[in-house]
């Protein structure tokens, strides 16, 4: 009959006249020397179970156990106290929901088509056609509508996230190997120069903050998840980025671009203050002048070494690279140390002194002394000179021999640095809860 394919005929094993039963076929194959699969059924008790199954079960169990920790778990993308993060969150929700709808729809259509139009061996060849205008229009129109909808959402989010209002607080961000400098271009200190702070960004809450981000050497990544996303800090390129938060507290920041040996140690803190405290802190930083040490004190001896170094042993002065408001020290190669005693981080966040004692804590003193003696040893890639006589690489990449200072002289410099503090009422760390940032070593 036309249109009906003939039934499929099985070919017998060579040398066998017919195939009546499976046993007959096996006997026939054995006579012809065909190798048979003699593995018994898995329930016969003689087959060894593979060991891959318990191994896979153990691996799955170990994977599930990794999610059992309860500390600081969150299902949200970013900190919802930031308008930037909220916009990114809702944009992500729309994209995920739309993706799920598309996935379910396509999967249903696929399985429906497979089941409904499954081919049978007795079916005649289907009718051939060369086009279906309705189907082709649907296959083109639906993806276009989806992409157009996502484009509208994206453009809307970009319009919300990118503008920088004139009333925004302006802060300049400079990334260098391996630390951060934060300058307040609208605030000039009474001692001269723009107010700056190293590795601790102070910003107000409940208003936009415009960051101008750049780099002084290689490409870095400015990333503070709680106040927004991340931006690349590139040499000779200035990028303006608006961030904000509605919640006062201390947030963790990191470099997100591989930038050298101590990329992982290039951290910073974001201290968000309510407007009143922020204004008071910035006013104190503006008026700050380093206190004059008492004659004969450890701070006075440390001040002399900080400013002049020790030429007889080759120890260079700290003032050549660092700035301290109200003193002759005006270096820019290293972080501004004007408010060092008020800070609670050292080495761009490598160590944190999170207690009220700050640098008077014995553990904190030990870390500060080790840092002053040989910074490159504790932080690979650091360009700070050594003061224990060992070699280090200078800013030109040359390997040079460092100077030497005695332990007592190192302690004197540390005492001077600890004395560089803002007034107690302007201590921006006081009463600021630590949010989304844990200790990274050293003191607690």
Is there a contact between 208 and 129 (Cβ–Cβ < 8 Å)? no
Helix, strand, coil % over all residues of the chain, rounded to 5: 35, 20, 45
Cis before residue 178, ω within 30 degrees of 0?
yes
Can you tell me which residue has the tokens 């036309």?
A: 2
User: What radius of gyration do the chain's Cα atoms show?
Assistant: 35
Instruction: Locate 100 and state its tokens.
Output: 């799920």
For the domain 298-421, what is the CATH superfamily, name and number?
Cytochrome c-like domain (1.10.760.10)
Is residue 442 classed exposed, middle or buried when 0-12, 13-18 and 19+ CB atoms within 10 A define those classes? Answer: buried
Is there a contact between 201 and 211 (Cβ–Cβ < 8 Å)? no
Order of strands, edge to edge, in the sheet holding 249-255? 200-204, 267-273, 249-255, 220-223, 230-233
d(CA 405, CA 309): 9
Instruction: Locate 195 and state its tokens.
Output: 């107010």
Instruction: Locate 399 and state its tokens.
Output: 């390997």
> Where are the chain's structural domains?
10-42, 83-117+134-161, 169-287, 298-421
pLDDT average per 10 residues of sequence, the chain (444 residues): 51 49 55 52 53 80 69 52 83 88 92 84 74 86 89 83 77 94 94 92 92 94 86 92 88 91 92 94 94 93 94 91 93 92 88 70 86 91 90 84 92 93 90 63 35
Taking each helix axis as running N to C, give the angle between helix 407-418 and helix 362-373, from 0 to 180 degrees, rounded to the nearest 10: 120
Q: What is the pLDDT of residues 364-398, one digit of tens each?
A: 888 899 999 999 999 998 889 999 989 888 878 88
Instruction: Locate 305 and state its tokens.
Output: 């070494």
The pLDDT of residue 72:
44
d(CA 190, CA 172): 19
Alpha-carbon separation of residue 162 from 9, 243, 259, 398, 400 (angstroms):
72, 10, 26, 42, 46
The pLDDT of residue 73:
42
The pLDDT of residue 11:
54
Is residue 412 classed exposed, middle or buried when 0-12, 13-18 and 19+ CB atoms within 10 A define those classes? Answer: buried
Torsions phi, psi of 276, nearest 5? -65, -45
d(CA 25, CA 42): 23
Q: Which DSSP string do the residues of 42-110 spell out, in sequence order?
A: TTSS-SPPPTHHHHHHHHHHHHHHTT---TT---SSS-TTSHHHHHHHHHHHHHHHHHHHHHHHHHHHH
The pLDDT of residue 65:
76
Q: How many residues does the chain have?
A: 444
CA of residue 38 relative to chain centroid, distance: 58
Taking each helix axis as running N to C, give the angle between helix 407-418 and helix 298-308, from 0 to 180 degrees, rounded to the nearest 10: 100
Is residue 203 classed exposed, middle or buried when 0-12, 13-18 and 19+ CB atoms within 10 A define those classes? Answer: buried
Q: Provide the CATH topology of domain 169-287.
A: Immunoglobulin-like (2.60.40)
């Amino acid at each position: 009959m036309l249109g009906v394919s003939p039934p499929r005929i099985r070919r017998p094993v060579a040398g066998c006249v017919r195939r009546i039963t499976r046993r007959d076929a096996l006997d026939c194959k054995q006579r012809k020397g065909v190798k048979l699969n003699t593995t018994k059924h898995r329930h016969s008790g003689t087959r060894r179970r593979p060991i891959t199954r318990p191994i896979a079960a153990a691996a799955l169990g170990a994977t599930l156990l990794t999610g059992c920790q309860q500390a600081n778990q969150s299902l949200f993308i970013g900190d919802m106290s930031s308008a930037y993060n909220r916009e990114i969150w809702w944009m992500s929700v729309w994209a995920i929901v739309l993706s799920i709808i598309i996935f379910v729809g396509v999967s249903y259509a696929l399985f429906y088509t497979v089941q409904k139009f499954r081919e049978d061996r007795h079916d005649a060849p289907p009718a051939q056609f060369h086009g279906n205008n309705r189907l082709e229009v649907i296959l083109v129109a639906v993806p276009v509508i989806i992409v157009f909808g996502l484009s509208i959402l994206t453009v809307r989010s970009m319009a919300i996230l990118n503008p920088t209002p004139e009333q925004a607080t302006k802060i300049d961000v400079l990334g260098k190997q391996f630390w951060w400098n934060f300058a307040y271009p609208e605030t000039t200190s009474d001692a001269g120069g723009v107010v700056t702070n190293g590795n601790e960004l102070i910003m107000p809450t409940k208003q936009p903050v415009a960051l101008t981000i750049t780099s002084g050497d290689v490409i870095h990544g400015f990333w503070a998840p709680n106040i927004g996303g991340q931006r690349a800090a590139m040499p000779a390129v200035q990028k303006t980025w608006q961030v904000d938060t509605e919640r006062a507290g201390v947030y963790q920041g990191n470099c997100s671009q591989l930038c050298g040996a101590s990329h992982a140690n290039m951290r910073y803190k974001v201290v968000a203050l309510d407007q009143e405290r922020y204004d008071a802190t910035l006013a104190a930083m503006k008026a700050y002048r380093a206190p004059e040490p008492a004659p004969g004190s450890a701070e006075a001896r440390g001040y002399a070494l900080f400013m002049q170094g020790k030429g007889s042993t080759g120890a260079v002065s700290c003032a050549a690279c660092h700035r301290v408001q109200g003193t002759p020290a005006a270096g820019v190669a290293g972080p501004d140390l004007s408010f060092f005693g008020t800070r609670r981080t050292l080495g761009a966040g490598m160590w944190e002194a999170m207690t009220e004692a700050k640098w008077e804590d014995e553990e904190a003193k030990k870390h500060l002394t080790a840092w002053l003696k040989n910074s490159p040893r504790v932080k690979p890639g650091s360009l700070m000179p050594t003061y224990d006589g060992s070699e280090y690489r200078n800013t030109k990449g040359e390997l040079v021999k460092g100077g030497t200072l005695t332990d007592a002289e190192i302690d004197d410099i540390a005492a001077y640095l600890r004395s560089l503090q803002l007034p107690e009422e302007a201590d921006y760390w006081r009463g600021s809860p630590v949010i989304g940032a844990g200790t990274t070593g050293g003191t607690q």
